[in-house]
Each structure stands twice: as structure tokens, then as C-alpha cells.
Amino acid sequence: MSTYDVVVIGSGPGGYVCAIKCAQLGLKTAIVEKRATLGGTCLNIGCIPSKALLQASELFVEAEHTLPKMGVKVAKPKLDLKAMLAHKDATVKSNVDGVAFLMKKNKIDWLTGTGKILGEGKLSVTGEDGKAQEYEAKTIVIATGSDVAGIPGVDVEFDEKVIVSSTGALELSKVPGHMIVVGGGVIGLELGSVWKRLGAEVTVVEYLGTILGGMDGEVSKQFQRMLEKQGIKFNLGAKVTGVKKNSKGAEVTFEPVKGGDAETVSADVVLVATGRKPYTDGLGLEKAGVVLDDRGRVDVNEHWQTSITGIYAIGDVVAGPMLAHKAEDEGMAVAEIIAGEHGHVNYDVIPSVVYTEPEVASVGKTEEELKKAGIEYNSGKFPFAANGRARAMLATDGFVKVLADKTTDRVLGVHIVGKGAGEMIHEAAVLMEFGGSSEDLGRTCHAHPTMSEAVREAALATAFGKPLHM
């Protein structure tokens, strides 16, 4: 029986990063993965392939609508969907091959199959042939991620062709005439944007009265208007009661959350993007004595230790935002703890990004959260319409908003809607990690002309009551 210092179950961003860090700290490490490739949902059927399609579809729109405004005359672009999907697949392969290389480089054993915890320090891995191999490990890390959540109370039969999850939405063989997206969160809006750009009519049906759930309210409202200008339609405050196939494709039945008549709408494709749930199937957690919380997540303490000594859990399978980079941070922290060091994650500074066009990026508290907590704050905003680089790029949609403590000026939250927002958010994250103030950010020299100057201007507006260039 092979013995390891650490065995990580799951090779997504949390799992493989944890394994690499453990190996770097001198621990004999193995990683368990049932897929034929490493990288988990994110690299195989999530973050990476969706970004490939988002980038490609954005360029498709730019070629037709933006380039002529800049004096670049081109023929009307033609969609080669097969080639676009091939680009997506090539992107995935490059990334998963890269992770496999990192495993070899760091001398991490890949145990192919489905992992099951047998108890403290013991696990088995069952291959496709049904044969189970047992292993011993001083420490086991659960990093099994999440799965499609479906719609609570509604029986949805996914065929991944007509009624699809995010997985099927990445593989459509043709552009649907009409796509209904159930769920106005990040996944639904990103994938809905892809198919809208490529020619589909897109309708979003969302239970809440706003899109992007926990995002800052002002950001959500402004962003929805931008998407509506792009042609995406919204039915908010709508409870879905049925999703099923029909002769034309599929149909979605929904009714107002506040009460009223039900409505049924047909579409060629229905994308159900109502979130994700922790994936713990087949892990043997109950029998092993690993406690779950009331939402099916693995219950852990502040050091990601489960109810069983020597078993830890990280990523989507535990509480907190289901974000790849959050899982990565937890993976590094747990590795350090296992090695006797002091791992830590600052959950107040975890950025989130919606990779639409324009992008939406946020870090820290929203105005709604600060009001609910009774924290007095100052707010400063600056629109990209007043930014020189944005004008030159024809990217004037959106704004930056900075929220800072009214007494100390410490920055508590930053929210950006605009082109490249996902890149700009990180200077705010670094500032907040070091407890910086809006004045600190406002007095930091920014290169001109850049989109990031809007971040500085918003900080000046927060610290001094007004920006310079408005």
C-alpha cells in the first residue's frame, strides 16, 4: 500500500494549487482525479473555455460594429462556429496539459479514478475498470468542487443539446434562434452574452428583482441597462415552475414571484444557470464521520479542518464564494498549515469578475452591505466617458466607484463596470490588503492615458469630494 504525506482529492484550481504548494514545502504528495485530464470544472468545462468563447465572440462583434468607426473597413464578418469551438478546445488543452506538466515537475503522483475516504488516514481510488486501490495518507484534502445545481423544486432533464447546463452551452453545434437563460447570475450572463453576440435572441429569466444577486445595487442596475442596449431581454422577479422539451425545442414556464398569471415561452435552447452545489457524491463522507452543514457543504473550522483529524476541505465544497481564485488561496493556506506554517486567507479581499463586455469587477463591501452593517462611508465615482483612453478605445461605458470608511478613509469596497474591469480591480485589492485609504490611492501616480486613471479619479472623489477631470 502506497503512503503519502498528503493526498488531494480533486484537481481543480484549489486542488492542484494545494498539491503544488504541498510538494514545494517538501511533502510527498498525490492528487486524485477521475477525469482524463486535470484542472477540474474550471479548466475543462468552466472558466477557461467560457473565456475563450467570450473573447472570440467579442472580436466578432468588434469586427462588424467597432472597427468601421475607427476607419478600419472590413467585409461583414462570417461566423465559423466550428473554428471558434476548436479555438476553445485548443485553449482548454493548453491549460490542462500545463497542469499535467506542473504535476510532473513537482513530482506529484496522479492517482486516476474516483476517490473515497475510508477513514482517518485512509482512502481508496477506483479506476474505470472498477478496481479499487487503497492508499494511506497522513493528511487528506477534499477539493472536489461543485456541480450544476438545477432549479429547486423543478424537475429538469438536461440533454445538453436543447436543455443545457453551462457544459452544454459551451458545445452548441449551431447558434440558436432563441435562447432562454434561467438565472441572471455570472454564468448565465456570460454565456448568454456569447450566443447573443453570435446572433441568438436571448431572454434571461431571474427569480430576484435584480441581476448579479450580491453585486452592488447601483452596479447591477447600470449593467442591466447596458445589456438591454445590446439586445438581451430580462424577466426579473420571475419564478420558474417548469422546463421541458416541446416540438420547437423547449419551453419555460414562469410566474411572478409576487403573484400573478403564469407565462410559457418557447426557445430553441434553454440554458439553466441557477448556480452550483457542493460535489460530495461517492466520497464516503458520512461513513467516515465527516460532518456536512445544512447546505451540504463540508463543515470546517478556521483552519479548513473537518470534523476528522487530518482531513481538510477547500474550495466550492466549503462555505464562501464559489470562485476558482478563492479555492486557490485556500489551497495554498491549507498546504502551509499542513507543513506547520501559518496559512491565512483574507475573505474581505476576494475580487469577483463578470467577463461580459463591458466587464464587471468588485472587491470588498457593497453599499447595501455597509448600510446593513451600520457603517458610515464616503462614496466617490468616476465615469469612463470622462477618461481619455476610454474615448480613444470607444470604451466609454461604465464607471468606477470607491467606498471608504467615513472616519478613517480606509477603502472598504471598489466596484468597476467597464472594459478591462477585471484587470483594473487588482490595484484596489492590493490597496485593501494593506489597509490603504482612498487618499493613498488618489495620491498614487497613474500613467496617462490609461483606463486605470478612472480608478484614481474615483478615489480622489471619495477622499476630497470631487475628481479632477469632471
Cβ-contact 230, 196 below 8 angstroms: yes
Q: Give the span between the Cα atoms of 202 and 325, in whole angstroms.
A: 29
Q: What are phi and psi of 177, to 5 degrees?
A: -65, -45
Q: Give the span between the Cα atoms of 274 and 130, in whole angstroms.
A: 33
Cell numbers that stand for 6 in this block: 498528503
Q: Give the span between the Cα atoms of 394 and 302, in whole angstroms.
A: 46
**How far is residue 410 CA from its own chain's centroid?**
27
Cell numbers that stand for 138 in this block: 497522513
Q: What are phi and psi of 201, to 5 degrees?
A: -85, 130
- Is 448 an annotated catalytic residue? yes
For the chain, the maximum distance between any two Cα atoms, rounded to a whole number of angstroms, is 70
| Active-site annotation holder among 65, 303, 426, 448 | 448
For residue 238, what are the β-bridge partners? 256
Q: Which residues contact 367 (CB under 8 A, 6 or more apart)?
A: 216, 217, 218, 377, 379, 403, 413
DSSP code at position 160: S
Query: What are the C-alpha distances in Å from 461 to residues 387, 447, 454?
Result: 14, 18, 10
Could you give the 3-state DSSP secondary structure of residue 284?
Answer: coil
What's the N-to-C CA distance of the chain in angstroms? 70
Q: Give the span between the Cα atoms of 139 and 125, in whole angstroms.
A: 16
Q: What are phi and psi of 66, to 5 degrees?
A: -100, -45
Point out the residues that are catalytic.
448
